[in-house]
Amino acid sequence: MATISDIGVSAGINILSAFVFLVVFAVLRVQPWNDRVYFPKWYLKGLRTSPIESGTLVGKFVNLDFRSYLKFLNWMPEALRMPEPELIDHAGLDSAVYLRIYLLGLKIFVPIAVLAFSILVPVNWTNNTLEKTDLTFSDLDKLSISNIPLGSPRFWTHLVMAYAFTFWTCYVLKREYATVASMRLHFLASEHRRPDQFTVLVKNVPPDPDESVGELVEHFFLVNHPDHYLTQQVVYNANKFSSLVAEKRKCQNWLDYYQIKYSRNPSTKPTTKTGFLGICGERVDAIDHYTSEIARISGEISTEREKVVSNRDAIMPAAFVSFKTRWAAATCAQTQQSRNPTQWLTEWAPEPRDVYWDNLAIPYVSLAIRRLVIGVAFFFLTFFFMIPILFVQSLANIEGIEKAVPFLKPIIEMKVIKSVIQGFLPGLALKLFLIFLPSILMIMSKFEGFISLSTLERRSATRYYIFQFINVFLGSIITGTAFQQLDNFIHQSATEIPKTVGVSIPMKATFFITYIMVDGWAGVAGEILRLKPLVIYHLKNWFLVKTEKDREEAMDPGTIGFNTGEPQIQLYFLLGLVYAVVSPILLPFIILFFALAFVVYRHQIINVYNQEYESGAAFWPDVHGRIVGALVVSQLLLMGLMSTKEAAQSTPLLITLPVLTLWFHRFCKGRYEPAFVKYPLQTTFA
């Protein structure tokens, strides 16, 4: 188990790592040759020019203004200076509301931390219960509820604090939900008119032997929406057509490069080889070669287009239907179109950037089977991930293993090695095990057949959070307790095991502290450094960039990554709410994460990330629901914990808390969620 010195070693390593990342970032960001890496958003908007194009020969590559190096933290106030309305215009509502999740964490946990350290920590510390037991513990555990003796009247303090923390959290959540809902409605009403605001996606069009899908759709909406129907576009399975277009675009880029090269040196015509990657095969005139390739592919595109249009099997039973007014589109999208509720299904069409075109070709009838398969696969993925969790917890609880396996003791007893292993390695190991998980979950979501990127990310985020809740949170507590109290489990009776688990849950705070420092401190500071995009950009710039289009694609600004970032934030909400009452020592580490992450990601959203789509903050009900769920989990765990502590008088009063919290969630769902799933007809006339 990690001691105070182990936590100190971990804090030192992670603070030093974060500081190094920030200093290196401050140096790299002011170098002219890195300008496209750290400010790509402004280049994509056409509002920034490369400093390499002007200045002296040396000044094109190295910043010679030494005063800029002394202001290495200036990016922080610059990131905070842009007001929220301007941020929405610059980056979109999704980005602005995403940042509010970090602010929400600060609004919830800063007052809770002040109250907890003023009241709960002294109540916990002024006992010596753990010293009288045979349990494995550290000095940090004396600050937790585990240090309160069985049946103590001091548990009334924890009960009152649980009510106070719950009411405060619900109050902040309600205010934030109301604010975000108002921001969304205002954004939708004041936004410039876009085609998707007048368009709905119609799915599961019933087959008709006498009419094509396009004719059937047009006939249906002319009959049912005669005054408002405008036009329709049938969905085709044109994935091969799309690949041909991409191939033509690639050839066009090469042609542009060789034409530019020839214009600079007309005396020598550029050549290329026709074999693999241009390194083997017959050498030919490059301009003639790519001109003929483009002509060949253009012919294939025309042939494939005619094939797709004429082939009935390539026509999907779905269509985009446009209306003359937003009111008509809203009415159609939010009403049932047919007596048969499984046919003529309508929903708002995603904006063009948000459409995941590959999934439009998936037959509607296969979606249920696909989602069943993925549900089973996700269950087994979650279950088998318990194996690496066991490994991580074995690193976190060396004392417990030493008791059960004494021969390992001489190897791991060196103080420095022990501190590094217990204070730093468990959090790092868990972080490494989770690296590839988001990509796997995104592939699973795509296989399910969702047709918009925003839905794919939200679905993947939900699964990622469930995965982290089961494996990272519950798995770490259960397996960690088993390793930590291994000797007690072996020698005590079965009736005593629940009591041991109840006492041990607060003790897992030390493991989560190490994880927060690795992921939330060093990890967030590493995000602003953008080491991977930096290396890839320069490699592409040296070896692959031929045209300005290549240079633009090499910048790779990236996105917020809602499917990975939001579940990670929710894990911190869960840890903060669960441990606020039982072990408040966790709260300062979480608060520091929210503060640092808010500044870092605000900077990235302003200068780096390029928005893939705009959903109008449609994800907020998910954010709210997961925080409420974390609040209920914290109440249930506290109830179970206090029942093992023989707090018979105070424990029954905790039953009211989850009931009130669920009622609060139902109220918010009815009051605010419609703004995120429906489009008010009142605003369609604006």
- Per-residue pLDDT tens over the stretch 350-394: 888 898 988 887 877 788 899 999 999 999 988 887 777 666 656
Q: Hey, what amino acid is at 530?
A: R
Residues 231 and 153 in one domain: no
Residue position matching structure tokens 């029942």: 643
In a domain, 44, yes or no: no
Residues 401 and 489 in one domain: yes
Residue position matching structure tokens 């794919």: 456
Interatomic CA distance for residues 422 and 555, integer angstroms = 39
The contacts of residue 534 (CB under 8 Å, 6+ apart) are: 28, 34, 37
pLDDT confidence tier of residue 212, bands split at 50, 70 and 90: confident
In a domain, 425, yes or no: yes
Closest CA to 401 of 322, 319, 466, 480: 480
Residues 328 and 201 in one domain: yes
Residues 220 and 178 in one domain: no
Closest CA to 629 of 674, 582, 553, 577: 577
| Region of residue 556 (left: phi > 0; alpha: psi -120 to 50; beta: else) | left
- Structure confidence by residue, pLDDT tens digits, 593-639: 999 999 999 999 999 999 888 888 999 999 999 999 999 999 988 88
Interatomic CA distance for residues 142 and 638, integer angstroms = 17
Q: Hey, what amino acid is at 243?
A: S
Residues 589 and 441 in one domain: yes
Residue that is last in its domain, among 322, 350, 378: 350
DSSP for 2-18 reads --HHHHHHHHHHHHHHH
pTM: 0.86
In a domain, 41, yes or no: no
The total domain count for the chain is: 2
Q: Hey, what amino acid is at 220?
A: F
Residues 376 and 326 in one domain: no
In a domain, 415, yes or no: yes
| CA distances, 87 to each of 94, 99, 175 (Å) | 10, 11, 21
Contacts 24+ apart (CB under 8 A), 399-405: 399/1, 399/136, 399/484, 400/1, 400/136, 400/483, 400/484, 400/485, 400/486, 400/487, 401/483, 401/486, 403/136, 403/486, 403/487, 404/486, 404/487, 404/490
- Structure confidence by residue, pLDDT tens digits, 454-475: 999 999 999 999 998 988 888 7
- Structure confidence by residue, pLDDT tens digits, 19-66: 888 889 988 888 888 888 999 999 888 888 877 665 566 666 677 777
Residue that is last in its domain, among 350, 381, 412: 350
- Chain centre distance of CA 77: 25
Domain span holding position 102: 4-30+65-191+369-685
Residues 206 and 146 in one domain: no
Residues 385 and 238 in one domain: no
Interatomic CA distance for residues 587 and 103, integer angstroms = 15
Residues 451 and 594 in one domain: yes
Q: In the 3-class helix/strand/coil scheme, how is 326-388 assigned residue by residue?
A: HHHHHHHHCCCCCCCCCCCEEEECCCHHHECHHHHHCCHHHHHHHHHHHHHHHHHHHHHCHHH
Interatomic CA distance for residues 675 and 117, integer angstroms = 38
The contacts of residue 658 (CB under 8 Å, 6+ apart) are: 632, 635, 636
In a domain, 51, yes or no: no
In a domain, 468, yes or no: yes
Residues 211 and 326 in one domain: yes
In a domain, 360, yes or no: no
- Give the residue with greater pLDDT, 3 vs 316: 316
* Backbone phi, psi, residue 650, to 5°: -90, -30
In a domain, 438, yes or no: yes
Residues 110 and 225 in one domain: no
Residues 622 and 551 in one domain: yes
